[in-house]
Amino acid sequence: MMSTFQLIGQVSHDDSQANGFLQKVYREEKSQFLIDHNLWWYRGDQHRFVVVTADGEVVGHSAIVPTTCLIDGEAQESWWWVDLIVDPAFRGRGIQTMLDQAVRDSAELKFAFPARDLSGKMFKRHGWQMREDVYQLTFIFSLLALPRVRLAQGVKGQLLRTAVQITSPVARLIRAYLTRYTPINARSLEDPDPETLAQVFFDHNRRDDRITTWRDAHYLRWRFLEAPYYAQLKFYVAGPSDNPSQVLITRTLDYRGVKTVRLLDIFGDLRDQAGLRDILRLAMRDAARQNAGQIVAISSVPLLTKTLRSLGFFMRRPLQFCWHNKNETAMQRFGESLCHWTYADSDTDQ
């Protein structure tokens, strides 16, 4: 029963029991990242929750990332609910409900990208609204980037690897073509200035009708320039040299054995399709030169999605996005609004 468990808030970043639980339930790469960097990621020690048994064993974990969103042209404080996980041996016993209640009783506006399993059903059951107009899109340099190809065994594995060999010449031609791209006015930045990047957001997105992250200099400094993986990031701008109109930030990492380039964030003038193509093709050129296996992006902007698809991001998977507000009118208003989310939002970049 739920009464046999206790919810504990403001769990310290170095709590050995909480961190031991993360090592138990997550893959090593993710658990170690959260253990080493949760003070940065959760923006303080007061934003982590665990559920423990009567014996003090941690059986559930979640956290929030404080953020600010642009809504109707104004900044509104909000939370991303992240890293929700319950020990499989204790599921179905109300632990997830306890963690959900702690979040719903806090900030007015909360967001999350729930996993496509029982957590998604729980969100709906507890009054969260959900939509599926956010997509993960993938550009594949090699079929070996696909787990079902790379990890296939037996006859199926042999057939798939034969297909890889057959298509390899085409893949090499595509990579060679991408490496020769000469940008029109897109360029990379060696020493990005958060004030300059933030100005692009305020010039082009402040009066936008889309709900999105409030990208002021404070946010950009925390989320990117102070990120523990800053060395993996690359910054791009497009537009006039004295007045950039678009910003793109990528991250190159080894993701489950595949060299992956994530389009971590993109903002600015998202209506300029020519500019979008220019800055995206420059990032694709660099990914090809780095011998990446795939490029991945998240998009909830139809024109951006269309542009990515036209550039070869053919693989598309819908993501569940949900939100909660104690005000029913605000809940409905949010459901009817356009949104712009990227890999930099929530816990998708882990």
* 195-249 tens-digit pLDDT: 999 999 999 998 888 999 999 999 999 999 999 999 999 999 999 988 999 999 9
Residues 56 and 81 in one domain: yes
**Structure-model confidence comparison of residues 115 and 333, the more confident one:** 333
Residues 176 and 229 in one domain: yes
Residues 258 and 144 in one domain: yes
Buried-state track 93-109, b at ≥16 Cβ within 10 A, e below 16: bbbbebbbebbbeebeb
**283 three-state secondary structure:** helix
pLDDT band at 275; cut points 50, 70, 90: very high
pLDDT band at 1; cut points 50, 70, 90: very low
The reply to whether 345 falls in a domain is no
Between CA 249 and CA 264 the distance in angstroms is: 5
Q: Which helix (H) or strand (E) is 329 found in, with range?
A: helix 328-336
Residues 183 and 239 in one domain: yes
Residues 121 and 150 in one domain: no
Its domain, for residue 189, covers: 136-340
The reply to whether 310 falls in a domain is yes
The reply to whether 206 falls in a domain is yes
**338 three-state secondary structure:** strand
Residues 101 and 220 in one domain: no
DSSP string for 93-155: SSHHHHHHHHHHTS-SEEEE---TTHHHHHHHHTT-EEEEEEEEEEEES-GGGSHHHHT--HH
Phi-psi region of 127 (alpha: psi -120 to 50; beta: other; left: phi over 0): left
Residues 334 and 207 in one domain: yes
The reply to whether 150 falls in a domain is yes
Residues 83 and 199 in one domain: no
pLDDT band at 165; cut points 50, 70, 90: low
Q: What integer pLDDT is reported at residue 198 of this predicted model?
A: 98
- The answer to whether 128 and 99 have CB atoms below 8 angstroms apart is no
The reply to whether 151 falls in a domain is yes
Residue with tokens 């006859």: 155
The reply to whether 257 falls in a domain is yes
Adjacent-strand bridge partners of 339? 211
Bridge-based pairing of strands 315-325 and 58-71 is unpaired
Out of 92, 127, 162, pick the residue that ends a domain.
Answer: 127
The reply to whether 180 falls in a domain is yes
For residue 315, what are its two tokens?
């693989």
Residues 105 and 191 in one domain: no
Out of 127, 145, 169, pick the residue that ends a domain.
Answer: 127
For residue 181, give the CATH number of its domain. Answer: 3.40.630.30
pTM of this prediction? Answer: 0.91
Between CA 11 and CA 49 the distance in angstroms is: 6
The reply to whether 347 falls in a domain is no
Considering the chain, what is the average pLDDT of its residues? 89
Weakest-pLDDT range from 81-85, 155-159, 344-348? 155-159
What percent of the chain stands above pLDDT 70?
90
Q: How many CA atoms lie within 13 A of 79 on its CB side?
A: 22
Residues 68 and 215 in one domain: no
Render pLDDT for 279-292 as a digit per residue (tens, 0 to 9): 999 999 999 999 99
Out of 84, 99, 127, pick the residue that ends a domain.
Answer: 127
Among 26, 6, 10, 152, smallest CA distance to 87 is for 26
The number of folded domains in the chain is 2
Residues 195 and 56 in one domain: no
Residues 116 and 142 in one domain: no
pLDDT band at 349; cut points 50, 70, 90: confident
